[in-house]
Amino acid sequence: MSRLVDDEALSNQVVDGKVRLQVKDLGLCLSGSGEDVVSDVSFSVSAGEVLGLVGESGSGKTTLALALLGYTKRGIDIVRGEILLDGANLLGMSPAELRSNRGRRVAYVPQDPAMALNPALRIGTQLREAMQVHKDFTGDVGERLAEIIADTRLANEGDLLQRYPHQLSGGQQQRVGLAMAFACRPGLIVLDEPTTGLDVTTQRHVLTTVRELCSSYGVAAVYVSHDLAVVRGLVSTVAVMYAGRVIELGPTQAVFNQPTHPYTRGLLAAVPSLDRAEVLRGITGQPPRPGRRPKGCSFAARCPLALPVCGEEEPVPTLVGGRLVRCFRAGEERVDLNEKKVVAPAQEPHESAPMLAVRTLNASYGSSQVLFDVNLNVGRAACLAVVGESGSGKTTLARCLVGLNSNWSGEIKFNGEELVAGCRNRPKNLLRKVQYIFQNPYSALNPRKTIGQIIGQPLEQIPDLLYSERSQRVVQVLEDVSLGADFMSRLPDQLSGGERQRVAIARALVVDPELLVCDEVTSSLDVSAQAIIVELLRKLQVERGLGMVFITHNLALVRSIAQSVVVLNQGHIVEAGDVDKVLSHPTDPYTSRLMADAPRLNQPI
């Protein structure tokens, strides 16, 4: 089992040959200032096992994961500790030795496979290159290629090796990334949010592939994720990170069934239920950033159980119930800090005319038809969820609604006014009222502008708004999405994926829209931020009469935010109606399969 261990235990396990990865007292700091980014991290992972790293955005998960490859982002240095892979210290290697080991002995699966694959090279070329680049690779490349394609369930994909990355679905791209990572039979594989943005069925296939490959190849794996339901079903041990430290680590079942640290309990309380509608409660406040971490326990300012000593002294790791916990109250009887309340979704108001009405919508990309006779309504202060597998037409529907796809026929009306194809043909006032939030926060934000400029730019289209009022609006909306005024001067590359997504949401909200089209807006958010955003959107529904089209793969979220749902399968609506009726008693086999594939906190994947 993966575990936090002392030096003596590590030495014994090396002799036994059971542990592949050992991390000892790892510390990373900001270049120049020396402020801690990640500190005092120690754990080990055995062959064939998966260790899960969870925590809020900015907790240090990805920074730690990249350090396991001997790599850091610009402005961060590894200043102490050891990373032993099969007994060899990666941090003691020269740059040339590290380059030789990456991909061969330690591999990485990134969050966004579309960005990681070379768009100009065919898939077969990239898979072969992953092996041929290592001069000491032994074995026949062709034979190994056929083997790894079969292992990652890509063998039945026809001419896949001749395709380019853009010709593959998200699930296919992710499995190609897994094939590249496992090609050289590494001892360690680091997976950074590898299923973010995938539908539940594709996600299940990818996770099953990960588990089977790690077991069959004897690979030690570190799996970074904010999806606690996925982590529950995949990993044997979980490490909860906060402010650059592991604050609770132990067997997955123990940590999830009886969480000890108040932060862990807060994260679990924020996870939506697939079986009932609940008020989601995120953890109040914001995690401290490097250079601004307070004296004592970093979580004290947000902790409802904080003691005076928490603000003065840093808690040391304590062994409680088979797991290691950094908390002064770790040994006390646990208290339910975040009791969930079951709520009935707000009923859609009865109106003579809906805010958004879509009739017989047919849409195409080139010569390929994507949507077929789609009909739906969205009332004022109501939310319609759109669910389905990747490629079912969800994003195409969203792009038609906001005018980014002009190749459609049918009728789309907003407040009784017919919307023409193409956003350039729509009046500015109407464009302001209908806002679109993109799925990918990495490509949705201008990398050359500050966060304040990005959020404030839409306000330039309101001529009678004073400059001082613009600034006030930007600050307010940053607070609404749990960021803050100190983010205004930062650039997108200084933010985590979850923080970027919150900026994208803030940019849409700043102009007081009447209809939000949300395309997987929570896929990059941790569970606490997701809970806060969902509750904010639900509040806006009531206070502003805000209508929403909420596209998501997270079926549990549908319960908490939507009143009605449509299920898309290959461009056709196969089921539609009240959320509780559709999700609790699906009548279409496709909907039933989606519900069966959705991960739950209380059952394995």
Which tops the pLDDT comparison, 278 or 141?
A: 141
Beta strands 383-387 and 564-569: pairing type?
Answer: parallel
| Average pLDDT for 383-393 | 90
pLDDT bracket for residue 342 (50, 70, 90): low
Q: If residue 500 lies in a helix (H) or strand (E), which one and from where to where?
A: helix 497-509
Residues 6+ apart with CB under 8 A from 277: 342, 343, 344, 345, 559, 560, 579, 580
CA-closest candidate to residue 176, choices 189, 162, 165, 186: 165
Beta strands 188-192 and 318-320: pairing type?
Answer: unpaired
Predicted pLDDT of residue 603: 57
| Average pLDDT for 523-531 | 84
Per-residue pLDDT for 339 more than 60?
A: no
Residue 149 tokens read as 């394609």
- Contact 85/23 with Cβ under 8 angstroms? no
Predicted pLDDT of residue 337: 45
Predicted pLDDT of residue 11: 33
Sign of CA dihedral 493, 494, 496, 500: negative
Question: What backbone phi and psi angles, to 5 degrees, belong to 54?
Answer: -130, 165
Predicted pLDDT of residue 367: 81
| Average pLDDT for 114-119 | 87
Per-residue pLDDT tens digits for 142-188: 999 998 888 887 877 778 899 999 888 777 888 898 899 989 989 99
Predicted pLDDT of residue 279: 84
Per-residue pLDDT tens digits for 117-146: 999 999 999 999 999 988 878 788 999 999
User: In this structure, what DSSP letter does residue 102 have?
Assistant: B
* CA pair distance 299, 286, nearest whole angstrom: 9
Residue with tokens 């239920």: 273
Predicted pLDDT of residue 401: 95
* CA pair distance 473, 457, nearest whole angstrom: 12
Predicted pLDDT of residue 604: 52
* CA pair distance 115, 60, nearest whole angstrom: 22
Lowest mean pLDDT among 41-55, 120-134, 590-604: 590-604
Per-residue pLDDT tens digits for 537-575: 888 888 888 899 999 988 999 998 999 999 999 999 999
Buried b (16+ CB within 10 A) or exposed e, 556-566: bbbbbbbbbbb
Per-residue pLDDT tens digits for 473-519: 999 999 888 788 989 999 998 887 678 888 998 999 999 899 999 99
* CA pair distance 397, 405, nearest whole angstrom: 9
Per-residue pLDDT tens digits for 209-248: 889 889 988 999 999 998 898 899 899 999 999 999 999 9
- Contact 21/341 with Cβ under 8 angstroms? no
Helices (H) and strands (E) in the chain, counts: 21, 22
What domains are defined for the chain? 7-119+186-257 (3.40.50.300), 120-183 (no CATH), 356-441+513-597 (3.40.50.300)
* CA pair distance 578, 599, nearest whole angstrom: 22
Lowest mean pLDDT among 24-28, 273-277, 352-356: 352-356
* CA pair distance 81, 101, nearest whole angstrom: 19
* Residues, the chain: 605
Predicted pLDDT of residue 88: 93
pLDDT bracket for residue 10 (50, 70, 90): very low
pLDDT bracket for residue 7 (50, 70, 90): very low
Which tops the pLDDT comparison, 317 or 16?
A: 317
Predicted pLDDT of residue 333: 64
Per-residue pLDDT for 16 more than 60?
A: no
Residue 377 tokens read as 């309504």
Residues 6+ apart with CB under 8 A from 325: 247, 248, 260, 261, 317, 318, 319
pLDDT bracket for residue 5 (50, 70, 90): very low
Predicted pLDDT of residue 2: 43
Residue 82 tokens read as 């050891």
* CA pair distance 567, 574, nearest whole angstrom: 6
Share of the chain above pLDDT 90, in %: 51
Per-residue pLDDT for 437 more than 80?
A: yes
